A and B are shown apart, each in its own frame.
Chain A
Amino acid sequence: MAEPAPAYLLDVRNVSKRFGGLTAVRNVSLQVPAGTVYGLIGPNGAGKTTVFNLLTGVYAPTDGQILFDGTPIHGRRPHQIARYGITRTFQNIRLFSDMTVLENVMTAHHLRTAQNIFDAIVGTGRSHREEREMRERAMHLLSIFGLAGLADEPATSLPYGSQRRLEIARALATRPRLLLLDEPAAGMNPQEAVGLMDTIRWIRDEFSLTVLLVEHNMKVVMGICETIQVIDHGESIATGTPAEIQSNPRVIEAYLGAC
């Protein structure tokens, strides 16, 4: 904790979030080293998605600090946090429903464009050049996720598993350094979940990412996370390697006790 800030890419210090009388997150700290896959687990309603919403600026923490690469980001707006290099996917898929697959990814490229609205109105060379680049980069991302052939299909016409992969492709288009995945394996069959694990590992290496994921599928979590942190009733109860977590009595109690 007393280390200089860049020791961790993401450094969450004693963050709490209260909604009126309800404390959704209490005094949670989270240290994610760069380049790792970090898992956040816990029973339903433990506060995992609230942590995500705090990290991405949807909520501002009531107490505590969030440092990203040494820069305080708590209380920033979501679009500012995306600019710092944190993007997410959503537990309930939030694709842009009346756009095509390609347009969804191109929309996320918008963050990294240099043109202003007058370039677009006048139709300057810069806007045409950037439009071409955006299309090429978006097609490249789609081909990584095996979606290039569906580029012009409406995003909502894809099967569920493909929609999840498209959401990851869209998130990568903002060129993040930290990718937050909110239950990426939800609704996937076992084969798709195994494929997802390979994809997450591969994009982590290919895009030099750090990945923080919330997931209920224990096979996925234990399979790809280097470190796992367990949250229950808004409080952090354990942090460790998959093996340590599996044998931790407090974790077992939280899961089995909650049943």
Chain B
Amino acid sequence: MPVGRKLFFITLAIVALAVLDQLFERGFGDLRINPYYARIVSLAGINITLAVSLTLINGLAGQFSIGHAGFMAVGGYAGTYLTVYHGAAIASFLGGTPLEGPGSVLVMIASLAVAACAAGLAGLVVGIPSLRLRGDYLAIVTLGFGEIIRVIILNIPAVGGATGFTAALPITSFFWIFGVALLTIVVVRNIATSTFGRALGAIRTDEIAAEAMGIQTTRYKVAAFVISSALAGMAGALWGQLFANPLNPQNLNFVKSIEVIIMIVLGGLGSITGAVLGATTLTVLPEALRTFDQQFPGLRMVLYALLLILLMIYRPQGIMGRRELSFAWLRRSTRDDGPAAPAAGAGKDAADG
């Protein structure tokens, strides 16, 4: 795409986000969105960022991380810490406070940048030792990492400890949530469709053959993991600074990581469109089922579980399989892709013959 067209699309996206931001946050005169619905949309946006970023490592590179909430926590706490303790000073560069005026934009950008750097650095520290090896080591290490982060945070009074980071300022808005979600989708899509995406796909299907074709497997796995972690960190900073949604170590445990994994498996592991659909479904569905709660308390979660089980029985490859929603796909949507072929090289050794 030429630079001119790229700039055009970026401008278009910013204008559209600003208009929707006004609609969702304040409304146009009498036209207002129910704050409850606006809230669900915001949470869906953050979950989209989490799910699409996890797609990069679990779906494209085929490395099983189950510590996404840990990176979300690192980014969330780092970004929120910056806003709470240095936000006023940063805002004063451009005038205003962290909540108002041109300074608030600078605070949000700084908060997201710090969140991305902190979580990316954590991803590097976790990734280098565990991604040198083939197999399930990453799952074990990320699981442990998530718990370590949670326990560390519990013991830091400056960020609220077990009570949660209640001092957080509600600077997150629709604009930033969906701006980051769009950024995440574009970054992951561009990697997926590039020569790096193919290199990650080679690593996923057959690491020995990938190495023999000159692909630096460890380096690419670590790069994908760091990018994925940094994006999750930005999602954490948005989540922690959402109105009346303080960061709390209890909400960023193992269960949250599994929730993100369910989103991408439900949507179709390896598909960005699937991750978006899965994140949206799993945010909206539990809320939509609340209507049952008045008559049959507790039935909601039973139905939720049942729907997930049925979907996995009748569509084990997820909603999208590995496909993406694209114009090319819509044109030949009649073609069936069937279940994913088993990886020919998986488990085979470089055995003697």
Residues of A within 8 A of B202 (CB): 96, 99, 107
- Cβ contact within 8 Å between B351 and A121: no
- Cβ contact within 8 Å between A97 and B195: no
Report Cα–Cα, A171/B206, bound state, in Å.
Answer: 15
Indicate whether A23 reaches chain B with its CB closer than 8 angstroms.
Answer: no
Question: Among B201, B211, B322, B340, which residue has the most Cβ atoms of chain A within 10 A?
Answer: B211
Looking at B108-116, B169-177, B214-222, the stretch in contact with chain A turns out to be: B214-222
- Cβ contact within 8 Å between B194 and A131: yes
Indicate whether A206 reaches chain B with its CB closer than 8 angstroms.
Answer: no
Indicate whether B20 reaches chain A with its CB closer than 8 angstroms.
Answer: no
Indicate whether B199 reaches chain A with its CB closer than 8 angstroms.
Answer: yes
B342 closest partner in A (C-beta): A97
Indicate whether A194 reaches chain B with its CB closer than 8 angstroms.
Answer: no
From 211 to 228 in chain A, residues with beta carbon under 8 angstroms from any chain B beta carbon are 214
Tell me whether A121 and B187 are in contact in the complex, defined as CB-CB below 8 angstroms, given that A49-B353, A107-B202 are known contacts: yes
- Cβ contact within 8 Å between B211 and A77: yes
Indicate whether B343 reaches chain A with its CB closer than 8 angstroms.
Answer: yes
Indicate whether A94 reaches chain B with its CB closer than 8 angstroms.
Answer: yes
- Cβ contact within 8 Å between B341 and A131: no
From 183 to 201 in chain B, residues with beta carbon under 8 angstroms from any chain A beta carbon are 187, 190-191, 194-199, 201
Report Cα–Cα, A94/B351, bound state, in Å.
Answer: 13
- Cβ contact within 8 Å between A174 and B223: no
- Cβ contact within 8 Å between A97 and B205: yes
Report Cα–Cα, A258/B187, bound state, in Å.
Answer: 58
A120 closest partner in B (C-beta): B194
Report Cα–Cα, A103/B199, bound state, in Å.
Answer: 10
Q: Closest CB of chain A to B283's CB: distance in Å?
A: 27
- Cβ contact within 8 Å between B215 and A87: no
Report Cα–Cα, A82/B6, bound state, in Å.
Answer: 37
- Picked from A91, A93, A99, the residue with its CB within 8 Å of the CB of B198 is A99
- Cβ contact within 8 Å between B201 and A110: no
- Cβ contact within 8 Å between A115 and B214: no
Report Cα–Cα, A16/B147, bound state, in Å.
Answer: 46
Indicate whether B344 reaches chain A with its CB closer than 8 angstroms.
Answer: yes
Tell me whether A82 and B352 are in contact in the complex, defined as CB-CB below 8 angstroms, given that A96-B205, A107-B198, A134-B195 are known contacts: no
- Cβ contact within 8 Å between B345 and A110: no
Indicate whether A137 reaches chain B with its CB closer than 8 angstroms.
Answer: no
Tell me whether A111 and B215 are in contact in the complex, defined as CB-CB below 8 angstroms, given that A44-B353, A117-B196, A120-B194 are known contacts: yes
Looking at A50-58, A67-75, A197-205, A239-247, the stretch in contact with chain B turns out to be: A50-58
- Cβ contact within 8 Å between A94 and B208: yes
Indicate whether B31 reaches chain A with its CB closer than 8 angstroms.
Answer: no
Tell me whether A156 and B341 are in contact in the complex, defined as CB-CB below 8 angstroms, given that A96-B202, A120-B194, A131-B195 are known contacts: yes
Looking at A7-15, A31-39, A122-130, A140-148, the stretch in contact with chain B turns out to be: A122-130
- Cβ contact within 8 Å between B352 and A110: no
- Picked from A45, A113, A131, A174, the residue with its CB within 8 Å of the CB of B352 is A45
Indicate whether A98 reaches chain B with its CB closer than 8 angstroms.
Answer: yes
Q: Closest CB of chain A to B315's CB: distance in Å?
A: 18
Residues of B within 8 A of A173 (CB): 213
Indicate whether A165 reaches chain B with its CB closer than 8 angstroms.
Answer: no
- Cβ contact within 8 Å between B212 and A95: no
Residues of A within 8 A of B209 (CB): 90, 94-96
Indicate whether A63 reaches chain B with its CB closer than 8 angstroms.
Answer: no
Report Cα–Cα, A52/B260, bound state, in Å.
Answer: 43
Instruction: Render A162-193 as a binary contact track against B, CB cut-off 8 A, 1 for contact.
Output: 00000000110110000000110000000000
- Cβ contact within 8 Å between B343 and A111: no
- Picked from B190, B191, B213, the residue with its CB within 8 Å of the CB of A87 is B213
Residues of A within 8 A of B217 (CB): 79
Indicate whether B350 reaches chain A with its CB closer than 8 angstroms.
Answer: yes
Q: Closest CB of chain B to A57's CB: distance in Å?
A: 8
Report Cα–Cα, A227/B202, bound state, in Å.
Answer: 35
- Cβ contact within 8 Å between B352 and A24: yes
Report Cα–Cα, A110/B351, bound state, in Å.
Answer: 26
Indicate whether B310 reaches chain A with its CB closer than 8 angstroms.
Answer: no
7 intermolecular pairs with C-beta atoms under 8 Å apart: A49-B352, A58-B212, A82-B214, A107-B201, A107-B213, A117-B223, A174-B214
Which positions in B face A, CB cutoff 8 Å? 1, 6, 187, 190-191, 194-199, 201-202, 204-206, 208-217, 223, 322, 340-345, 348, 350-353
Which positions in A face B, CB cutoff 8 Å? 24, 44-45, 47-50, 53, 56-59, 77-79, 82-83, 87-88, 90-99, 103, 106-111, 113, 115, 117, 120-123, 127, 130-131, 134, 154, 156, 170-171, 173-174, 182-183, 214
Closest 7 CB pairs of A and B: A111-B214, A82-B214, A120-B194, A78-B211, A94-B209, A97-B344, A49-B353
